[in-house]
Amino acid sequence: MPIVPTIRAIRPDERGELDRVIVRSLGSPYVVSRRLIHRVSELPCLVATSGDRWLGLAAYRLAAGACELVLLEAFERGRGTGTALLDAVVELARESGARRLWLVTTNDNVDALRFYQRRGMRLVRLWSDAVTQSRKLLKPEIPLAGDNGIAIRDELELDMLLTEVSASG
């Protein structure tokens, strides 16, 4: 059943818990994108909550007139949490003056490719073997196979021009 989460910024005193949640979910506190390694708990981060429960997280990075969505995770899928977090990131990116929202996902993540494209994002680049390189040089714990048993090799970049559309169309 859909839920209407509250979306708010992570508080400084929650950063330790954030690290633990990310390690539980990803096996490491780090995510890699475009050859950069980020500790999620050191990035600006939104949390979706219902009462005391954390329903999902979005971590982002503002740089060079753009906003990178570094991590988006819903702990219970298909209930509207991911959409609510994406909408909130679009809004704050716009308010911060960013002209573009972008992210990378991996080639196995067909659910995410569907999710983002249905919410106005376009596929703009294929970074072939980017994950293979990141696994070798930055984060050996990246699994070899991902969703649907697909070998994880490439980064796919998606973006949305913030001057044109909003996440919910």
Ligand X SMILES: CC(C)(COP(=O)(O)OP(=O)(O)OC[C@H]1O[C@@H](n2cnc3c(N)ncnc32)[C@H](O)[C@@H]1OP(=O)(O)O)[C@@H](O)C(=O)NCCC(=O)NCCS
Which residues of this chain interact with ligand X, rule CB under 6 A?
72-74, 77-83, 103, 105, 109, 111-112, 115, 118
CB 81 within 8 A of CB 44: no
Q: How far is the CB of 159 from ligand X (least distance, A)?
A: 13
Q: How far is the CB of 161 from ligand X (least distance, A)?
A: 19
Q: How far is the CB of 139 from ligand X (least distance, A)?
A: 15
Nearer to ligand X, 12 or 63 (CB): 63
Nearer to ligand X, 92 or 156 (CB): 156
The residues, any chain, with a CB within 8 Å of residue 62's CB and separated by 6 or more, are 44, 93, 96, 98
CB 82 within 8 A of CB 167: no
CB 79 within 8 A of CB 2: yes
Nearer to ligand X, 78 or 143 (CB): 78
CB 70 within 8 A of CB 61: yes
Nearer to ligand X, 73 or 159 (CB): 73
* Residues written for the chain: 169
Q: How far is the CB of 136 from ligand X (least distance, A)?
A: 21
